[in-house]
Amino acid sequence: MSRSTGQALALSGALLAAAPHAFSADNELNELKQQLEQLEQKIQQLEANQTAENTVEADAESGIKVGGAIRVNYSTNSYDEDTKNRGGDLDFDVFRFNFSGEVADIGLNAEIRFFDYMTAVKYAYLDYDITSQWQAQLGLTQVPFGNDPYNSHSFFMSPNYYLGLEDDYDMGLVMRRQVADNWQLDLGFFKNDELGGVDGYVEDRKDRYSIDIVGVRANDEGIYDEPTAKLGEHNTFVARYAYHVDHTAGSTAIGVSALSGGLHDGQYSAGDYHAWAFHINSNIGNWNLQFQHSQYDYQIDASQRIAIAANATYDTMPTEATSTSANIAYNMSVNYGPITHLQLYNDFGTIYNKSDDSANSWMNVTGVAVTAGPIFSYIDLVHAKNQPFVGGTLSGQSDDVERRFNINIGYYF
């Protein structure tokens, strides 16, 4: 109740209390009634004004906020002689915009990225809180599979990303149950990938953020060739469950994930694909420990290899494989000039039991993430074998261990 409303009510009470002593004639009583009616109207007007003021304040808090980042990247490696002779290269990485906020209880979340070589929408979805525990997300949203939200700490993520099983975004609907009673559940249905599936209306199917299947890899095609036989995911169901165990030093989420969907060649159904994972994400004091074991299977009769695409590049991976990863990180609050936080980490992941009999892939990343005001940086030393973006491919047969030193610096606003 506002101060004006309280004063009006007090005045109303005073007039009522004084009425028997101040008025005795009928005309005086009628005059009193008129005054009381006027006071009631005044009170209603004051309450209406107060409601309007509250509405304006609520509207001022709602709306869509715009942020973003500009990042540059320095790297040197063991597999490019020209880069080594130059002492490495400093390149523009990405300029991105982020949109987030809420209007009329409906939330918007989106991110678009501008690279030198492509433009890609990472995610773009609407969300609505159906209840205090359940939220619906509709649009280009993250596939709920594996450790949430990432199964890694480094700039390069884990090998699961290069299989399309980490930080993957597709077109569909996700129902998310927030952590309550120590458990959470995510259920999703994805109609197709972010570019409309096998016959999406796009100029180039490899210009995307997430790794997705785009074709069957014929025996006479090169590993990085555009596939002749197109293929795409469709009608995929996903579920992820995690139980959170609270303990004196922190909490641990133990979970399982599974997905199952179809493959389409543009005219007919061309097979199915399935994947499952067991995962653990534990916070113990300043430490974070992650473990994940996954298996996937693309059931295609024509080949033991499939063509995948992302980051303006085609690549190849086996139709079936197993992956295991184990990561550890330590968080430190510091006061080194502008630097306020450090995260030291070592992420290790491997892919094996491949259906195309290619050599095992593995990647180990030792690094530190540095926070200094609006600046966030990854400093990574990577050792890997048959690993994309580290001199290899998931269907490679190399025996060489490649090395890459990488610094990614971003200004976030």
Interval 338-356: pLDDT, tens? 999 999 999 999 999 999 9
Give 7-17 pLDDT, tens digit per residue. Answer: 443 434 443 34
Give 353-369 pLDDT, tens digit per residue. Answer: 999 999 999 999 999 99
Could you give the angle at the alpha carbon of 79 between the alpha carbons of 345 and 164, nearest 5°?
55
Beta carbons within 10 angstroms of residue 92's beta carbon: 12
Give 324-334 pLDDT, tens digit per residue. Answer: 999 999 999 99
Q: How many angstroms separate the most distant Cα atoms in the chain?
A: 111
Range 64-412: architecture per CATH: Beta Barrel (2.40)
* Exposure b/e, 177-211, CB count within 10 A at least 16 = b: beeeeeebbbbbebebbbbebbeeeeeebbbbbbb
CB 166 within 8 A of CB 277: no
Torsion angle in degrees (nearest 10) through CA of 341, 148, 388, 205: -120
Give 259-302 pLDDT, tens digit per residue. Answer: 999 999 999 999 999 999 999 999 999 999 999 999 999 999 88
Whole-model pTM? 0.84
The rounded distance, in Å, linking the Cα atoms of 402 and 78 is 6
Beta carbons within 10 angstroms of residue 226's beta carbon: 15
